[in-house]
Structure 1
Amino acid sequence: MFERIAELAIRRSRLVLAVAVAAVVLMGVAGAGAFGTLLGGGYDDPASSSSRAAKVIEEKFGGETNLVLLVRASEGRVDAPAAREAGRALAADLRKERNLENVVSYWDTDSSSLRAEDGRSALVLAHVTGDDTERDENAKAVIDTYAGPYEGALTVRAGGGAAVTSEMGKQSGEDLLLAETIAVPLTLVLLLVVFGSVVAALLPLVVGVIAIVGTFAELFVLGSVTDVSVFAINLTTALGLGLGIDYALLMVSRFREQLAAGAGVEDAVRRTVGTAGRTIAFSAATVAAALGALLVFPQYFLRSFGYAGIGVVAIAAVGTLFVMPALFVVLGHRVNSGRLPWVGPAVPGARQPLWGRLARTVMRRPALTALPVLAVLLLAASPLLGITFGTPDERVLPEQATSRQVAAVLREDFTGTDDAALHVVLDRPVGEDPLESYAVELSGLEGVVRVETGAGTYADGRSAPTGPGTAALARPDAQRINVVSSLAPKSDAAQRLVDEVRAVGAPEGSDPLVGGTGAVLVDSKDSIAERLPLAVALVALTTFLLLFLFTGSVVQPLRALVLNMISLGATLGVMTWIFQDGHLSSVLGFTAQPMEVSMTVLMFCIAFGLSMDYEVFVTSRIKELHDSGADNESAVVDGLGHTGRIVSAAACLLAVSFFAFGTAELSFMQMFGLGSGLAILIDAVAVRGVLVPAAMRLLGRSAWYAPRLLRAFHGRYGLSESAPAPAAPEPAAAPPYAKS
């Protein structure tokens, strides 16, 4: 296959480039529509009790409260005549909005739960209609219309789930723009440093552009037929640029190495595609397999990263395998044009003394060199022993975000608001006596302030109602019960309350659905935990099979899996220490909270896939030398000597793309960017530089072991190196850059 790709590039190079340009233009046109089809949200399991409760409430009760307007009297208390008149006018105007339902105002109900303890503020609750995308747009329109001064007597600020999601979407776009503004120029500078010539430095950007534009087109198509999260854009840009650079860096380095060894342009292309091209194909397969595990989760937030990740990896690999060889044929020795005057004669990709000496030192003293590194990584992983998980809320936004400020006021100045209540839905007729008995038992649970039903309001487990019922909670064929508590939203106690509510015996013949903020968190954690073993098993199995087909050994895949898990453990441990335990919060400007469960799973899959990317880069060269007859030590030392600079340069360039998201205002995007970048650097330096040669030394000849049956299978079905030999032997010292 790789020989045919090389021959196509040699014989039809200009046609290949023309087709590539046309494809990029078409994909760019299609991809421009992606932003209009992608959705916010997607953190919930649609099959969970909380999601089904929300759906029933939407259909039969006008929807859960997702917009909270915090209204403050400009002067005096909210019960003053001027404030009361303006408050009623505000509620009346809101009821006229066609995208709002279930508008409930303090001034219409005189409910003490809707008035602040100091009497200066009150609440208006509402439900914003529409799917995730429409809801964001509808919420933004309402907020833009009513936020700020109202009739000179009130000041309105917006909070609640719809406002938080709207602000998160806006902030995500701003974070992405800032990250790319930092990453792209810095990446270009680093490419010039790595390659030492302008033309060679620009080639990886070609692949990056192809990968990003192509994936945008893919997301547009998928977003037109299924739910896709808008946050997939962030992964597309970071991973597209990074992998495009990774793959192109390997190809360009190998091509220039072949030219420096005396090969003609066509022979250099054949050798490059047959070696580096084969490595890239396997690398892309391993990364895609890791990201493919995200597709097993029901939350479309996670599935969307799987769509984007698989797409960007596949398109980057295809672009590298077909476009780069054609560019090499057209450019020839001009690939070295624009050499920077201060650059020395070394050719990127040639054997580097530093990495070779490091590998030789490690292999001679594996325990002495590897044990300290292993100890540091295990120490870094230790915070995982205390890890807890949560879902995104207003705390991921910067402190100056309005919806976050509103949430803080609700916690401090209001007692038991409906916005954070649990919503129990009985999707069938229920008699008054069974309903009352059920509500009384719910009201006796620890932390519950009151239980609101259509028949009455109950508190403290007393059978006598403490207040009138709410007619909007009763339907002929369904009942809705609001369980309002004084517990902090998403706290451990709030999560325990969800389980306790679900354990209370329901009226006979009914199957209650429990929704609300706390229930969504519990269900999301349970859903991910249920499918996580399958995702991990798929990643491990596909990685093992691919590496076996690549190396012909059953030991190499196991060694790679163990080392990658150590590296990932250290990365996740450091992120837990920072973002959950709050270290560096003052420096990075975030609020410490439990690890965001979906983003942690995503970071695991991304970091694992990229670790395997560098695993294949290094192992391919070691295996190439081993298959040519080199002993184990020479193969590892020379293999790392040849690939060490490529891996370290690729890691630095890719890490820049992710570290740029450390400037984000959304804390979970900060965690994703910093964690992914750290994982890349740990893998490239500690694992590839120290632990891999140490493991290879300790394993010795058994590193390439496979049972006889599997050896026969690999001999028949595995992909082995079949590229032609180089035109001339590689020199001991690399010559100066070839002139154009």
Structure 2
Amino acid sequence: MLSALARAATRRPRTVILTWLALIVLGFGLGTGVFGRLSDSVPDVPGAESDRTAELLDDIDPRGESLSAVVEAPRVADPALRTRVEQAVTDLRRVPGVTAVPDPYATEGLASGDGRALIVPVTLKGGLDDDAEDATVDAVADRVKEIDGADVHVSGGPLLGRQLGERAQEDVQRAELISLPIVLGLLLLIFGGLRAAGLPLLVAVSGVAGAFLALFAFSQVTEISVYVIQVTTMLGLGLAVDYALLMVMRFREERRTSADVTDAVHRTVERAGRTILFSGLTVAVSLSGLLVFPSPFLRSMGLAVAAVVVVDMLAALTLLPALLTRFGARIAPSKPRAPGAEGRVFARLARFAGRRPIAVTTVSVLALLTLALPVSNLRIDIGDARQLPASTEARQLYDTVNAHYPAGVGVDPVVVVARPGTDPAFEARVKALDGVASSETQTLDDGTRVLRVTPAGSIDGATATQLVEQVRELRGDNPVTVAGVAARLVDFRQMLADRAPWAALTVLAGILALLFAFTGSLLIPLRTVLTTLLSLGAALGVVVLVFQDGHAASWLGGEGLGALSLTAPPLIVAIAFGLAMDYELFILARMREAWRATGDAQEAVVAGLRRSGRVVSCAALLLAVVFGAFMTGGFAPILEIGLGLTLAVVIDATIVRMLLVPATMTLMGKRAWWAPRALRRVHERFGVRDEEAPTEDTEDMVTPRQ
């Protein structure tokens, strides 16, 4: 297959290049339409009690979503300001699609005790279609903003999703403006020429365009979260640079021994292309675990990111060979070096680890386990507006309410829906529960009673989630269900606990199978998974220490929130696991070549690290730059994901790949490449085979060519 791709790219390079240019135009044209279709709904679990209850309320409750506006002034009771606010309230009640706007001066609790703020809640009608809802939201926001003589902030409901989408687009643009020039500068240093440096960047741009196009396509059939944009863009950009870096470096190496550009391209695709193909597959398999979860957010994230990985892989295997065919003659071959000079530093690291394998393994494992210790205290929640940068409208509204109102104002209630037939005393028992700050009851036309209980503390803190669990235990046989933000969090946590083992089994089975197909070894895949889990634990532990516990969070533009966003841990684990497999395959490919050529297990480790160390280190540096650029936006979940992935890449490319891998490979020796006879036959039939097969086989080991 790789040979066929190479032939197609070299035979018709102009056609291939024009096709990808059309994709880039389409991606940055049509694909960017996804920014207007983003959703801020993350913790929904279809079929869960909170989801069923929300759907029931949509059907029987005439009220829809609501917006909130906060008017802040030195004295909100000022007659002139009061006249302007009351006129705005009158106008808002006439807006089509608005069902209720209370008078903030006459309604208890809407005016702050210090007389400096007013809350104006606006309730929309239920059942509005998207266009009608958008028109209503625009009209409400525009009219509230017209109030003169005060600072006005408006957010909530469908407006919050739009604000987050706009913020996501701004963050992506900022990250690209920061990262692309730095990446280009680093590539110039790595390659020493603009032509060679520009090729990975062009593939990266193709990857980002493909990411937007894939996301736009998925948005037609499923919800796309605001978090997906940054994650897929950073991964698409980073992986494209990784793959292009490997291909261009290998091409320059092949050019040393081949004067014919086309022949050098063929050899590059056949050798480095195999690594890229398996790398793309392993990253996609790592993300397939997200498909096990019923959450639309996690499933759409898994599908979108996997699609981006495939786009990057295809760009590296088709666009890049076509570009090398057209312009490769102008790219200088890598300079020949004296024997032993190439990759000298990495060879020394490999020999150091090989001389002291037990000590290096012990110290590395203990260091990684120490960094991973905070994971034992990991907490996840949905979070409130503190996750947003201070410049966002929703955060400004939150800060204003927090400054002028007592704790608990603005906290979403736990919604208890009691259908007809419920014990009349049940409502009183709920109100008497610990942690209930206030409550209100609504009776619907069919006799259903909706009790909205405001918990003490935050929107999804321990008090709120305990209140949900207490109500569910208290109801007994009564036809009572619970909804609200806290209930969605409880159901999301339970979904993670139920499905995480199956997701892990799915990923591990796929990864082990792919690594066996690539190496022909049974032990190397097991060693790879164990060392990768150590680096993942270390990275996640530091994220917990920073953003949950608050240590040094301010240095990164964040703050300690007492928990991580529920989006961060599963995405960090899934994506970082795939990236770790990326670097593992880069190194194993070279180790395998050396092993099959020499039969010396220790020298194969040294040669593998010598030949791959530079590309792994450069790729990790470039990825760290890309991920770091996305941490400039200040959105807490993206900060957490960005830091987690940056640390995972750096730890994996240094401690794990440069020290732990050569040390453990030395401890295993020749048995690292061992496989039972039955599995060896399977590998000979279905696994990766070199152009020249080995001449001799022992009973249980893939033996190198002599």
What TM-score, normalized by structure 2, do the two folds share?
A: 0.90
2:359 paired with 1:368: yes
**Which residue of 2 is the match for residue 61 of structure 1?**
61
Q: For the residues of structure 2 that align with 1:383 and 1:274, how far apart are their CA atoms?
A: 44
Q: Give the 3 Å change call, closer, same or farther, for CA 182–534 of structure 1 in structure 2.
A: same
SS in structure 1 of the partner of residue 220 of structure 2: helix
Shift of 1:691: 0.5
Other-structure match for 1:522: 490
What's 2:343 paired with?
352
Is the 2:547–2:564 contact (alpha carbons within 8 Å) kept by the matching residues of 1? yes
User: Identity of counterpart residues, as a percentage?
Assistant: 38
CA distance in 1, matches of 2:539, 2:407: 40
Partner of 1:643: 612
Match of 2:92 in 1: 94
Q: Distance in 2 between matches of 1:205 and 1:255?
A: 16
CA–CA distance in structure 1, aligned partners of residues 167 and 452 of structure 2? 32
Between the two proteins, the alignment pairs up a number of residues equal to 689
- CA 481–85 in structure 1, closer or farther in 2 if over 3 Å, else same: farther
Change in CA separation of 1:36 and 1:408 when aligned onto 2, cut-off 3 Å:
closer
My pick for the range that moved more, 710-719 or 328-337, is 328-337
Q: Tell me what 1:678 maps to.
A: 647
Equivalence map 1:197-216=2 (5 Å)? 197-216=193-212
Contact 2:414–2:453 (Cα < 8 Å) also in 1: yes
Partner of 2:702: none
| Residues 548 and 105 (structure 1), Cα distance of their counterparts in 2 relative to 1, 3 Å cut | farther
Give the direction of change, closer, same or farther, for the CA distance of 1:721–1:291 in structure 2 (3 Å limit): same
Query: Post-superposition shift, 1:134?
Result: 8.1
1:386-465 aligned at under 5 Å gives the runs 386-411=377-402, 413-414=405-406, 417=409, 419-426=411-418, 428-430=419-421, 434-435=423-424, 437-454=425-442
Residue 492 in 1 paired to residue 462 in 2? yes
Structure 2 counterpart of 1:12, which letter? Answer: R
Equivalent position of 1:468 in the other structure? none
| Cα 1:67–1:288 shift into 2, 3 Å | same
- 1:487 to partner: Cα distance: 3.2
Structure 2 unaligned blocks of 5 or more: 695-706
Q: Deviations over 1:26-74 (max 9, x none)?
A: 5554424333333333332233222333333333223466422334576
Larger CA deviation: 297-306 vs 567-576: 297-306
TM-score (norm 1): 0.86
Q: Which residue does the alignment assign to 1:463?
A: none
Pair 72,229 (structure 1): closer, same or farther in 2 beyond 3 Å: closer
> Structure 1: how far apart are the matches of 2:135 and 2:258?
61
Give me the whole-angstrom Cα distance separating, in 2, the residues matched to 1:592 and 1:233.
24
Structure-2 residue corresponding to 1:7? 7
Paired residues of 2:65 and 2:158 also in contact (CA < 8 A): no
- For the residue of structure 1 that corresponds to 2:560, the secondary structure is coil
Q: Deviations over 1:535-587 (max 9, x none)?
A: 22211111111101111111111111000000000000011111111011232
Partner Cα distance (1:305, 1:505) in 2: 36
What secondary structure sits across from 1:149 in the alignment? coil
Contact 1:159 1:404 (C-alpha < 8 Å) held by counterparts: no
Equivalent residue for 1:379? 370
Aligned partner (choices 679, 689, 692) of residue 658 of structure 2: 689
Match of 1:221 among 202, 217, 221: 217
Q: 2:529 aligns with which of 558, 561, 565?
A: 561
- CA distance in 1 between counterparts of 2:18 and 2:81 reads 68
Asked if residue 479 in structure 1 is aligned to residue 449 in structure 2, the reply is yes
CA contact (8 A) 2:40 2:160 kept: no
Deviates more, 1:624-633 or 1:43-52: 43-52
Amino acid in the other structure paired with 1:614: Y
Given that 1:430 and 1:479 are in contact with CA atoms closer than 8 Å, whether structure 2 keeps it comes out as no
Q: Distance in 2 between matches of 1:476 and 1:497?
A: 26
Output the amino acid matched with 1:453: T
| TM-superposed deviation, 1:96 | 2.0
**Aligned equivalent of 2:253:** 257
> How far 1:723 moved relative to its partner?
6.9
**Counterpart among 566, 572, 587 of residue 597 in structure 1:** 566
Give SS of 2:101's match. Answer: strand
Evaluate the alpha carbon distance shift between residue 6 and residue 553 of structure 1 in structure 2; reply closer, same or farther with a 3 A threshold: same
Pick which of 62-71 and 378-387 moved more: 62-71
* 2:269 matches 1:273: yes
* 1:294 pairs with one of 279, 290, 303: 290
> Counterpart of 1:581?
549
1:452 alignment partner, SS class: strand
After superposition, what is the alpha-carbon deviation per residue over 1:76-102, rounded to whole angstroms, capped at 9, x for unaligned? 65xx87777665544332222234344
Match for residue 284 of structure 1 among 276, 280, 304 = 280
* C-alpha spacing 1:207/1:138, structure 2 compared with 1 (3 Å): farther
Q: Match of 2:313, as an amino acid? A: A
Could you list the per-position Cα deviations for residues 252-304 of structure 1 after superposition, in whole angstroms to 9, with x for gaps in the alignment? 11111111134532332222111101111000000011122222233333333
Q: CA deviation at 1:641?
A: 0.3
CA contact (8 A) 1:424 1:480 kept: yes
Q: Deviations over 1:174-216 (max 9, x none)?
A: 2222211110000000010111111111111222122221222
Q: Residues 140 and 166 of structure 1 are in contact (CA less than 8 Å); yes or no, is this contact kept in structure 2?
A: no
Match of 2:701?
A: none
Find 1:702's aligned residue among 659, 671, 694: 671
| Structure of higher RCO (CA pairs closer than 8 Å, 6+ residues apart) | 1
Partners of 2:567 and 2:637 within 8 A in 1 = no
One-letter amino acid of the counterpart of residue 260, structure 2: G
Shift of 1:6: 2.5
| Greater mean alpha carbon deviation, residues 512-521 or residues 359-368 | 512-521
Give the gaps of 5 or more residues in structure 1.
455-472, 726-740
User: Could you say which residue in structure 2 is the equivalent of 1:231?
Assistant: 227
Structure 1 residues 723, 712: CA separation in 2 closer, same or farther (over 3 Å shift)?
closer
Task: Spell out, residue by residue over 1:677-732, the C-alpha distance to the aligned partner (whole angstroms, 9 max, x if none).
Answer: 1111111111110010001011112211211111111111112122799xxxxxxx
2:609 counterpart of 1:617: no
Conserved 8 A contact 1:270-1:723: no
**Equivalent AA in structure 2 for residue 550 of structure 1:** F
Q: Deviations over 1:87-137 (max 9, x none)?
A: 5544332222234344344445x3x34443345544332335668998678
Is 1:242 the counterpart of 2:238? The answer is: yes
- Secondary structure in 2 aligned to 1:68? strand
Report the Cα distance in structure 1 between the residues aligned to 2:429 and 2:5, rounded to whole angstroms.
Answer: 71
Alignment match of 2:307 (pick from 300, 311, 319): 311
CA contact 1:6–1:269 (8 Å) conserved in 2: yes
Pick which of 583-592 and 158-167 moved more: 158-167
CA contact (8 A) 1:281 1:317 kept: yes
Are residues 438 and 178 of structure 1, via their aligned partners in 2, closer, same or farther at CA, if it must alter by over 3 Å? same
Whole-angstrom CA distance in 1 between matches of 2:61 and 2:675 = 63
Is the Cα contact below 8 Å between 1:115 and 1:414 reproduced in 2? no
**Aligned position for 1:42:** 42
Which of 495, 498, 501 aligns to 2:471? It is 501
Deviation of the 1:609 alpha carbon: 0.5
Note the aligned Cα RMSD (angstroms): 2.9
Task: Tell me, in whole angstroms, the C-alpha distance in 2 between the residues paired with 1:474 and 1:447.
Answer: 26
For residues 363-421 of structure 1, give each alpha carbon's deviation from its aligned partner in whole angstroms, at most 9, with x where no partner exists. 11112333323222111111112221111320111235443343345456247547521
- Note if contact 2:36-2:165 (Cα within 8 Å) is conserved in structure 1: no
Contact 1:208–1:240, Cα closer than 8 Å, also in 2: yes
Moved more, 413-422 or 634-643: 413-422
Structure 2 CA distance for aligned equivalents of residues 132 and 709 of structure 1:
59
CA 1:270–1:500: 2 relative to 1, 3 Å: same
5 Å matches for 1:97-246?
A: 97-107=95-105, 110=107, 112-118=108-114, 120-128=116-124, 139=137, 141-147=139-145, 149=147, 156-160=152-156, 162=158, 164-246=160-242
Write the distance in 1 (CA, Å) between the matches of 2:18 and 2:118: 64
Equivalent residue for 2:698? none
